[in-house]
Structures are given as structure tokens and as C-alpha cells.
Structure 1
């Protein structure tokens, strides 16, 4: 399987995804912060779109965003599998015609997400938990695109994820992070820790690093599901 990552900043890396995919995939990258080019859509089976501190609306600041949006849209239209995380999920939502906008609350730290009721009748209900504590670092959110299945919600954010056609997965939250990625966010984005209702401080975040393990386990299970789908196309 050929997996291609779109990476927006050096400190938001694939995390546990590298380990989950290393024995089943050839991995390649477009690192926008290094000016790297996008591949041909025919050269990948699974696209992973990572997070980043920028907004989907920052095209005037990051010139590569327009090309990235067209690329993500084309990959989806060609029936391939796509996983988006945080900014990546918002890019997928926009590509599917949904609105991305500033949320009522900034959400940073470890917060529970609850499985949406509609998941119960889906094919992945057997492994998607009723509740899991996930890591968050976002101020924007998305609407659920037409035809997509909402996955989860939290107290601060009603739309935490969705699945489209059982092959496109979008997570507002982070299941892929290890302590290394969290420390990177704390170093580079500390100015966003504003003490508001759903923003934990650095001490609280570090205290709960062990929560990476169950989150990573769920991420690996999603990778298994997506790999099967990608290889069946």
C-alpha cells in the first residue's frame, strides 16, 4: 500500500501512524514547510492530511493551501481513502462542501469525546468506543458534510469527526499523538493556552500523557480498517 502524508509544520508529525503503517505501507511525504511538491494522485492509495496551526481560510498567507485543497478534493473524487486530522479534517470537510468556522470554544488538552448515536448502526460500531479521552488542540470546527456519518462529539464541540463512504475519515481530535508531538505543540503554540473554559494548562496536559496509549490503540485500529478499504479499491 502506498501512503502519502501532507505535513504542514515540522512539529505536527504522524506520531503513532508511522509505527502503525511501517509493516504494511510505502510511506512518502509532502512537507509544505519545506516547499515540497504534491505527488500525482495515481501514486497513492491512502492520503493522510496532518494538522497545523494555520486555518483553512489562510490562503493569502500560505500560498500552497489552494493547491492542497484541490489535491485533497481530487483524491476524494477518485474514490481513494483519506484520513484527516484537525486541520486535515477541516480541509476534508471543506472539500466535501461543508463549512469550517470558528468554534464557540477553543479546545486544548485532554477531553472526552462521546460516540454519536448514529454510529451504532454502522459497520465500525464494534470497535469505536462509547467514550474515549482524546487530545485536542483547535479553535475552529466543521459542519458534517452531506452524506457523511458523524462520529463523535464533546462538551465543547458538537462535531468531532465523521466518516464519508466508509473510506474518508476526519478527526477534529488527535489519536496519533505521542508525548513528543504534544511537547512540540506546547513549545510552538503555548500562546494559545489562554486559560479559557476548555483549555488546560501545560502541567495538566503533561500529567495525562499516559492517555496517549489508548488513543494510539484506537488510531491503529482505524488504520487497519482504512488499509483494508484502500487495498480493495
Structure 2
């Protein structure tokens, strides 16, 4: 009898050095394998998710409104998980691509404000029925998104009101970052320091100091959230 195979999840990253971070670690620990693709570097996306248990599309420094070929290709590709009703999670850029695919809008704040650092989060009544949400989350973005028609808002915030939503049974989107390991946050703080002068951004020391206070709660939420999105993997032969 052949050994049982671990189900695999499609992981979409946007830079050569990008990592699925804590999300990847938790998914591996829970029994999934990861099929990592980087479309900006020429990796193709599958025409079907028949052989995948779902997909996660991560963030990146680009905008979902950019005219790059890979941005258009990824945005159009989202028809696959939606059509096949496979679990999909979009994080930051991935969430914004889903919004564009669903006919929503991705744009900056009217007053030029950004969310870069730790900011308060408030679950909606629909979100509270699903799980307990963290009070503070880590952000690193200059654009937000409208709530697509037919989507259910799960969490909101002051500067960018739409922070998490569910569309249909299996499509999920979050604006904030729960995937950062400590090493990843150090790297983002160093490489993204030029963004700390933007209106509303926090300084690097506040990013790292906030992690000591709030990251434990964010990780606890992430464990439950990933289980809600992808369930418990069932090995196949």
C-alpha cells in the first residue's frame, strides 16, 4: 500500500527573498505541504486547484493596481479558486488583488495616511461569531480596499475601515500581517525604514517594541484563523 501523501497548498509569493513565514510554519506543522510559486519571477500558476487543498496569496511592495503582466495574471487567476470553491486566503496585496477581481476598488487614504506599524483592530459581529480577534495587528501598507459586493466584513479599523472579509464559502482576505517571524520583522524595519516618514507611520522601534506586547495574541489568532480557512488536512493515497 503506497504511503499517504500530505495535501499541498499553493503559496504565491512576490519577491525572490519572500517567505511564507509563520503562516508557512503553521501550515507545515498542521499537515500540509507547500507548493511555492513566484509569478514575478516567471513561475506559472496552475490552471486548476484540483491537486491542491487551497491557496495563499501573500503581499509585496507592488500595488494591485500596477500594470505589470504578473499582477494582471494573478488577478485574473483568482477565478480558479472562486470557480472551484477551493479555500483561498489573500494577505495584503493578495487581498487587494481579490478585491480588484471582485470589482472593488484599491486606493490610498484620502488624507494620504498609511498604516505601517501596530494598529487597533475591531471585529464586526460576524467576525466575533467566527472567533476571537486580536486587539492590535501589524500593518505595512499605503493602500486599502473597498468591501466587494456580496462580501461579509469581519474586522475593521479607524484609518482603513475594511481589514478582513469573507466572500462566499471559501475566499478570505486580510489587510494586516500575521505571518511575520521576528527575523522577518527586523528585515522589514531595516529595508522599509524610508517609509517611516509617511503620514501615520510608526518608527521602527515601535514596530519591534509592539511585537513584544501584541505578537503572542496575533499568533494565537492566526492558528485559529488558518484552521478556520483550511481545516484539518486529510492525507491522500
| TM tier, smaller | 0.7 to 0.9
Alignment of 1:41-190 (within 5 A): 41=48, 42-59=50-67, 62-104=68-110, 105-120=113-128, 122=129, 124=130, 127-129=131-133, 131-190=134-193
Confirm whether residue 221 of structure 1 aligns to residue 224 of structure 2: yes
Q: Secondary structure in 2 aligned to 1:137?
A: strand
Separation in 2, partners of 1:192, 1:144: 26
Confirm whether residue 4 of structure 1 aligns to residue 19 of structure 2: no
Larger Cα-atom Rg:
2
**Contact 1:101-1:141 within 8 A present in 2 as well:** yes
TM-score normalised by length of structure 2: 0.86
Shift in Å, 1:12: 4.2
**Contact 2:116-2:138 within 8 A present in 1 as well:** yes
**How many residue pairs end up in the alignment?**
223
RMSD of equivalent CA atoms: 1.9
Separation in 2, partners of 1:140, 1:21: 28
Separation in 1, partners of 2:181, 2:77: 28
Confirm whether residue 192 of structure 1 aligns to residue 195 of structure 2: yes
- By percentage of residues, which structure has more strand? 1
Aligned to 2:4: none
**Contact 1:46-1:230 within 8 A present in 2 as well:** no
Separation in 2, partners of 1:110, 1:160: 13
Return 5+ residue gaps in structure 1 as ranges.
none
Residues 137 and 215 of structure 1: is their aligned pair in 2 closer, same or farther, counting only changes over 3 Å?
A: same
Q: 1:70-118: CA deviations, max 9, x gaps?
A: 1122221221110011111101111122111112321100111111234
Q: Secondary structure in 1 aligned to 2:142?
A: strand
Q: 1:99-153: CA deviations, max 9, x gaps?
A: 1111232110011111123434x4x1xx233x52100011111111111110111
Separation in 2, partners of 1:188, 1:77: 38
Residues 110 and 12 of structure 1: is their aligned pair in 2 closer, same or farther, counting only changes over 3 Å?
A: farther
**Contact 1:82-1:169 within 8 A present in 2 as well:** yes
Aligned to 2:204: 202
Shift in Å, 1:44: 1.7
Q: Secondary structure in 1 aligned to 2:197?
A: coil
